[in-house]
């Protein structure tokens, strides 16, 4: 209750503030376009701190204007992509709202990317339907039933005098996922990317998705966002800080941007680990996160991350609202009951073709034990390093990416479920949790302006926990027993992949044709194998599916 009241005070303070835009939904194709342009033309483009996503629509809309002002020559596919960026954010284009040449019945699609729009002096609204239908066949699954997705909903955004902006996204969904996804849902009791679900006709799931927020400028350089949504912190395919893998969460975000510095504060109310059952009030937990990014030059960014997860019977711990203090100092002063993490990240654009990036997250360590190299269980950390290569080998619009991730056993865990680095039965960072190493490779080629293919390949090794064991792979398992003493399998000699080994490989090809703006026809071909010492994870599967989606990003939950 106190947390909610504080947020409402911030909202009321910001009502009279300056212009502010909504955010581009995560996984939208604009993110890849911004990446490409940032690598190639970052020297002349407006500063965008790519380590904290989502991006503001007004920033994305300014990119095409800057390219045009600097007489940058783009090929036809790049021109098409830039045009789409303008259309998707037309209310924030500097000159005027972009009009359609052929609106439907004079009211619909008067702007190319908007089903129904309203443009008044003090009030702007955009309304779009959201649809996705996909049908496919899985091979290698004992269950011979079809795989399907069926999503219907609406997306609405707008602004009042460009001082207060708002956004909402609501969908009703029925689906039957691939066998390994169904296993994950059964294990986690939650849907990847969402949370609550119920059975649908005995072989599928039914769930409701709702996201929404308001945002405004508290001061000229301070943006405030308040609502239910997701965040992704990092430049990689994965994030070891915060990812969008799990469910939406209730949050207040304050982002301060001055000169070359961006400083983000995120305060959240989340759902602690729970078991499905009768309707009831689910247990709460809380989080506070900082991310500082310094844009040193047009080619180099460095950042620092800090986060803490905690639970309290009486609500949010107000001491963590201090926006500039070191959280570990507060956590120690409170008696060290909470789970504090720190991290570093960087991004370097090289030769207008490459981007080198990485993250390092530190949960807990003892320098003496690290020097001793004895595999002490509480030396808990993760590492990411990656490389992006655009227009690879001189081929326009062929973009490659390679990434390596590793997280030591027991990282993200803590003494209780309520302080583990999780939300709604799902990891807050990497989908695999801890005790793994992973290789990711992607190749994306835009054959025609409207036709794109992307191949994603993943290989990882993870150590699973057998019944009653704690080898550090399940981040929901407390590392302290209820009756006292460590629950870890061994105090020393721990290494990545220990426990019940699982080796997984995945290749996923998606070919998308944009028949109409934001209307895609998708062909999806996937193969996945898992060799595991736990029998129910030891499978090989293939999938072929065809579908279409309208105003909905393509999102794969690969693990």
pLDDT per residue as tens digits for the range 392-429:
999 999 999 999 999 999 999 999 888 999 999 999 99
pLDDT reported for residue 231: 96
Report the DSSP pairing between strands 539-550 and 354-364. unpaired
How do strand 147-160 and strand 123-139 relate by DSSP bridges? Answer: antiparallel
CA dihedral 429→434→439→444, nearest 10 degrees, is: -20
Give the chain's domain count: 1
Q: Is pLDDT at 264 greater than 70 in this prediction?
A: yes
Reply yes or no on whether the pLDDT at 434 is more than 60.
Answer: yes
Please check the confidence at residue 1 and state whether its pLDDT lies above 50: no
Q: What pLDDT band is residue 16 in, cutting at 50, 70 and 90?
A: very low
Please check whether residue 336 lies inside any domain of the structure: yes
pTM: predicted TM-score of the whole model, two decimal places: 0.94
pLDDT per position as a tens digit, 332-341: 666 668 899 9
**Residue 461 forms part of a structural domain:** yes
Is 106 buried (19+), middle (13-18) or exposed (0-12) by CB count in 10 A? exposed
Domain extent, residue 375, equals 2-274+295-550
Closest CA to 272 of 463, 424, 84: 424
When mean pLDDT is compared across 5-19, 443-457, 492-506, the lowest value belongs to 5-19
pLDDT tens digit string along 346-388? 999 999 999 999 999 999 877 788 778 889 999 999 999 999 9
Look at residue 559 and tell me if it is in a domain.
Answer: no
pLDDT tens digits, one per residue of 485-544: 889 999 999 999 999 999 999 999 999 999 999 999 999 999 999 998 887 778 889 999
Q: For residue 179, give the CATH number of its domain.
A: 2.40.160.130
pLDDT at 5: 53
Task: Find the range with the poorest average confidence among 11-15, 321-325, 432-436, 460-464.
Answer: 11-15
CA angle 227, 163, 67 (to 5 degrees): 95
Would you say residue 556 lies in a domain? Answer: no
The pLDDT, as a whole number, for residue 17 is 47
pLDDT computed for residue 97 by the predictor:
66
The pLDDT, as a whole number, for residue 286 is: 94
Least confident of 193-197, 322-326, 477-481, 506-510: 322-326
86-119 pLDDT, tens digit each: 999 988 887 666 777 777 877 889 889 999 999 8
In a domain, 282, yes or no: no
Environment class of residue 11 by beta-carbon count within 10 Å: exposed (0-12), middle (13-18) or buried (19+)?
A: middle
C-alpha angle 112-117-121 in degrees, rounded to nearest 5: 115
Is the distance from CB of 390 to CB of 39 less than 8 angstroms? yes
The verdict on residue 281 lying in a domain is: no
Which among 255, 222, 262, 438 has a CA at the least distance from the CA of 345?
262
Mean of the pLDDT values across residues 17-38? 87
525: in domain: yes
Burial class (CB in 10 A: 0-12, 13-18, 19+), 259: exposed
In the chain, the percentage of residues whose pLDDT exceeds 70 is 93
- What pLDDT is attached to residue 19? 61
Q: Which residues contact 316 (CB under 8 A, 6 or more apart)?
A: 2, 3, 6, 267, 269, 286
Q: 407: alpha, beta or left, given left = phi > 0 and alpha = psi -120 to 50?
A: beta
């Amino acid at each position: 209750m106190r947390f909610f009241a504080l947020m409402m005070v911030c909202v009321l303070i910001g009502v009279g503030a300056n212009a502010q835009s909504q955010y581009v939904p995560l996984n939208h194709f604009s993110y890849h376009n911004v990446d490409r342009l940032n690598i190639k033309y970052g020297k002349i483009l407006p500063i965008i701190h790519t380590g904290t996503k989502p991006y503001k629509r007004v920033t994305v809309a300014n990119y095409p204007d800057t390219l045009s002002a600097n007489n940058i020559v783009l090929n036809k596919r790049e021109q098409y992509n830039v045009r789409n960026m303008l259309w998707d954010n037309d209310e924030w284009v500097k000159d005027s709202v972009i009009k359609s040449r052929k609106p439907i019945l004079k009211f619909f699609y008067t702007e190319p990317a908007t089903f129904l729009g309203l443009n008044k002096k003090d009030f702007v609204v955009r309304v779009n339907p959201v649809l996705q239908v996909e049908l496919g066949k899985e091979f290698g699954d004992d269950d011979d039933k079809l795989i399907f997705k069926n999503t219907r909903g609406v997306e609405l955004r707008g602004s009042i005098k460009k001082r207060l902006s708002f956004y909402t996204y609501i969908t009703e969904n029925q689906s039957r996922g691939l066998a390994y996804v169904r296993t994950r849902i059964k294990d986690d009791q939650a849907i990847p990317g969402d949370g609550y679900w119920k059975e649908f006709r005995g072989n599928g799931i039914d769930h409701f998705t709702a996201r929404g927020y308001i945002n405004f400028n508290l001061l000229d350089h301070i943006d405030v966002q308040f609502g239910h949504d997701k965040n992704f912190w990092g430049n990689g395919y994965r994030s070891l800080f915060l990812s969008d893998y799990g469910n939406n969460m209730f949050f207040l975000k304050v982002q301060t941007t001055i000169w070359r510095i961006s400083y983000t504060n995120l305060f959240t109310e989340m759902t602690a680990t729970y078991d499905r059952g009768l309707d009831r009030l689910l247990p709460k937990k809380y989080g506070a996160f900082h991310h500082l990014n310094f844009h040193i030059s047009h080619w180099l960014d460095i950042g620092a991350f800090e986060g803490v997860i905690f639970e309290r019977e009486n609500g949010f711990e107000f001491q963590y609202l201090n926006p500039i203090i070191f959280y570990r100092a507060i956590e120690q002063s409170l008696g060290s009951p909470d789970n504090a993490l720190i991290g570093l990240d960087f991004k370097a654009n090289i030769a207008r073709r490459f981007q080198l990036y990485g993250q390092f997250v530190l949960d807990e360590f003892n320098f003496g034990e690290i020097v001793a190299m004895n595999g002490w269980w509480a030396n808990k950390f993760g590492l990411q390093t990656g490389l992006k290569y655009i227009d690879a080998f001189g081929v326009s619009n062929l973009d490659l990416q390679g990434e390596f991730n590793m997280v030591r056993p027991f990282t993200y865990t803590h003494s209780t479920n309520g302080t583990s680095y999780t939300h709604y039965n799902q990891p807050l960072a990497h989908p695999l949790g801890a005790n793994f190493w992973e290789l990711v490779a992607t190749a994306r080629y835009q054959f025609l302006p409207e036709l794109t293919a992307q191949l994603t390949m993943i290989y990882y090794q993870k150590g699973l926990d057998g019944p009653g064991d704690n080898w550090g792979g399940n981040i929901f398992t407390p590392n302290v027993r209820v009756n006292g003493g460590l629950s870890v399998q061994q105090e020393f000699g721990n290494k990545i992949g220990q426990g019940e080994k699982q080796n997984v490989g995945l290749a996923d090809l998606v070919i998308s044709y944009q028949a109409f703006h934001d209307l895609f026809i998708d062909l999806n071909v996937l193969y996945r194998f898992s060799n595991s010492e736990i029998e129910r994870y030891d499978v090989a599967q293939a999938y072929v599916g065809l579908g279409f989606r309208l105003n909905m990003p393509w999102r794969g939950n690969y693990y």
